[in-house]
Structure 1
Amino acid sequence: MLRWILSLQKPLIRSNQKRLYAQLTYRRFNNNRGNDFRSFLFDPKSRKYIGIAAGGGSIFYLTHLEEAPVSGRRRFIWIPPYLESKIGNYTYKSILSETQNAILPQNDRTTQRVSRVFSRILEAAYKDPTVDKSVLEGINWKVHVVNDPQAPPNAFVLPGGKVFVFSSMLRICENDDGLATVLSHEFAHQLARHTGENLSKAPIYTALSILLYTLTGVDTFNSILLDGLIKMPASRQMETEADYIGLMIMSRACFNPDESIQLWKRMAEFEKRSMRGAANFEFLSTHPASERRIENMRDWLNDAHRLYNEADCAAMSQHWQQWKNMSPVSLGVF
């Protein structure tokens, strides 16, 4: 009897559950945020303010466009150099706290070697008539070598003049000309104010991301879209500009421009080993493929050799070799 009563109650329980479920609406955490923004976006009263903001933003954007070096592209940049330096100093302190136990002293022969190479590059930049000297004024340049064999090959120049080179990068450089290729490239990013450009565009990328999320409600796909179509192509273009500027400066500093191709060949081999045969899709990278960089270098070598010859580099190379032969210690890498 009890089993029969329970069997009669089951349909009733299911019916009550369905009515209860129909009264409930599933809500994700913050799921209505996109709807609220859509309502604001399409609200007639809000359109006036949106129009004013868009008009003001457009005027601000157009009045802060300038021509980028080498490529001549129009770029948006509003961050002043002093703010770049402040951000660079903050980053410098952060990197120091992470690497201070591995940084070689300033009197170490490897640090002195890197400093000498960079000094020649810096001097050549001052002599280059195409370089905006204002980006070099009032900067306290300092070179750091990070002796961490486990760290990936890396080198960079921060706004504010702080230079970092990792010992694993020195192995790939192999010689002073290879080291000059890397240092002049990283230095060129600061000459071209690429850091300021990236900082200037950051609010635009954020606004585009919010707008796309509002329209699609999908975050991951929007990130891939922004990276693949806007951010990464712009980054690769800046890398190409730095490649050209760096090659010309190292040639003017009397470093062998032919070594730049050898450096990128070694870098390509390292990438193949580290990726273990995986495909390197340039579309998904912030840097041009090493093979493309090598092609570019070959195209630019005539200009580089012209600057090398104009700088009377044969005499400079002889003086440099004599100095190294007189040095009491070897200038080898780790």
Structure 2
Amino acid sequence: MLRNITKLKGLGNRVHGQSLKPPLSRVQLTRSYYSSNGSSYRRFNNDDYSKKSSFKELILDKSSRKYLALFFGGCSLFYFTHLDKAPVSDRSRFIWVSRPLELTIGNYTYKSIWRQTQQEILPPQHPLTVKIENIFKKIVKAAYKDPSVDNSLLDGIKWEIHVVNDSTASPNAFVLPGGKVFIFSSILPICANEDGIATVLSHEFAHQLARHTAENLSKAPIYSILGLVLYTVTGANVFNNLLLDGFLRMPASRQMETEADYIGLMIMSRACFQPQESIKVWERMANFERNLNRGNAVNMEFLSTHPASVRRIENMTKWLPKANEIYEQSDCSSIGNYYKSFFAM
């Protein structure tokens, strides 16, 4: 999922967990980013003390320690037996959410988003919808040819394109588990052309190929348990959330976004879309962000669910030789030269 300022950038959180903010003010897709007298003051301290005292007693009690050990031992066993390798990067990650459950949640989310955006969705026969659908079909076809892609994730999926025609919405696009694709017309100026659209769609599509939605859903109970443990110790929710976001949630989200950038770039190259355009898309995104911030450069990547546009440009530049190699191997260059010579006649 794409950056949280634009929602492209999240090009995961989408339903990838996922963290998509609403491109429309009424559409919420993902999470966003005094003592008056002595007696009340003492009561607060007593409550806080009792929590810490209870936790301390729990640790010191032999019987309690036994049950805690069994609980955490069972959780550890469950965790290590549900480790999985992420595609392409081979990153070890925890996934327990089954594919059917993932699709069920995706379908539920789709119905919710559909109800809130249906008035702005262009009809399937609209020229813009047809154009974007043709681009996406090429991407899916290329994914089948990618040896790193699990084709079972593509089989039986009915892909549906939904173009939300609202130029005032934040630039955004996402793909839900189950094949429902949403792209907002406000992102099209940043895409600029078919190769740019392919860049965005390939990134969002890659989140589903990597099962980032299932990964985020699988991690949610762990974050909840850690938050509960921290609250028992500190009694401060705000501080605990900062710790969890800064050291766990956000770094993991940025890692998934980077994976989707890489997978998406390789797939769009295999689909014969110009890989160089991916760099230009992120340059235009960076310009959009500067204009949004009135020319002020804001780079708070460590507080974001998405990598900074500058970093994404650096990554794309580093991966470009590999993408060009895939582009050449797919006979894309010969097709491009044929069309150039045809129109030059």
Tell me if both proteins adopt one fold, taking TM over 0.5 as the criterion. Answer: yes
1:79 partnered with 2:106 = no
Distance 1:24 1:124 in 2: 65
Distance 1:29 1:100 in 2: 53
Distance 1:105 1:28 in 2: 60
State the AA in 1 paired with 2:100. Answer: Y
Which ranges in structure 1 are unaligned for 5 or more consecutive residues? 1-20, 323-334
Report the alpha carbon displacement of residue 316 of structure 1 after superposing the two structures with TM: 3.9
Q: Does the 8 Å contact 1:34/1:213 carry over to 2?
A: no
1:254 partnered with 2:272 = yes
Superposed, which structure 2 residues align to 1:10-49 within 5 Å?
A: 25-27=42-44, 34-35=51-52, 38=55, 39-49=57-67
Q: Does the 8 Å contact 2:107/2:178 carry over to 1?
A: yes
Q: For 1:100, what is the secondary structure of its paired residue?
A: helix
When the two chains are superposed, the root-mean-square deviation of aligned CA atoms in Å is 2.5
How many residue pairs match? The answer is 303
1:296 partnered with 2:315 = yes
Report the alpha carbon displacement of residue 69 of structure 1 after superposing the two structures with TM: 2.2
Q: Does the 8 Å contact 1:106/1:112 carry over to 2?
A: yes
Superposed, which structure 2 residues align to 1:168-207 within 5 Å?
A: 168-207=186-225
Report the alpha carbon displacement of residue 222 of structure 1 after superposing the two structures with TM: 1.1
| TM-score normalised by L of structure 1 | 0.85
Query: 1:7 maps to what in 2?
Result: none
Structure (1 or 2) with the greater helix fraction? 1
- Structure having greater relative contact order (Cα 8 Å, sep ≥ 6): 2
Distance 1:72 1:24 in 2: 53
Q: For 2:77, what is the secondary structure of its paired residue?
A: helix
Work out which of the two has the higher radius of gyration on C-alpha atoms and give 1 or 2: 1
Report the alpha carbon displacement of residue 81 of structure 1 after superposing the two structures with TM: 1.1
| TM-score normalised by L of structure 2 | 0.82
Q: For 2:259, what is the secondary structure of its paired residue?
A: helix
Query: 1:9 maps to what in 2?
Result: none
**Larger deviation, residues 273-282 vs 125-134:** 273-282
Report the alpha carbon displacement of residue 253 of structure 1 after superposing the two structures with TM: 0.1
Q: For 1:148, what is the secondary structure of its paired residue?
A: coil
Query: 2:29 maps to what in 1?
Result: none
Distance 2:143 2:183 in 1: 20
Q: For 1:70, what is the secondary structure of its paired residue?
A: coil
Change (3 A) 1:76 1:37: farther
Encode CA deviations 1:170-208: one digit per residue, 9 max, x unaligned: 111010000000000000000001111000000001111
Report the alpha carbon displacement of residue 49 of structure 1 after superposing the two structures with TM: 1.4
**Larger deviation, residues 101-110 vs 128-137:** 128-137
**Larger deviation, residues 267-276 vs 193-202:** 267-276
Q: Does the 8 Å contact 2:88/2:148 carry over to 1?
A: no
Distance 2:235 2:40 in 1: 25
Report the alpha carbon displacement of residue 272 of structure 1 after superposing the two structures with TM: 1.2
Aligned to 2:287, which of 269, 283, 287? 269
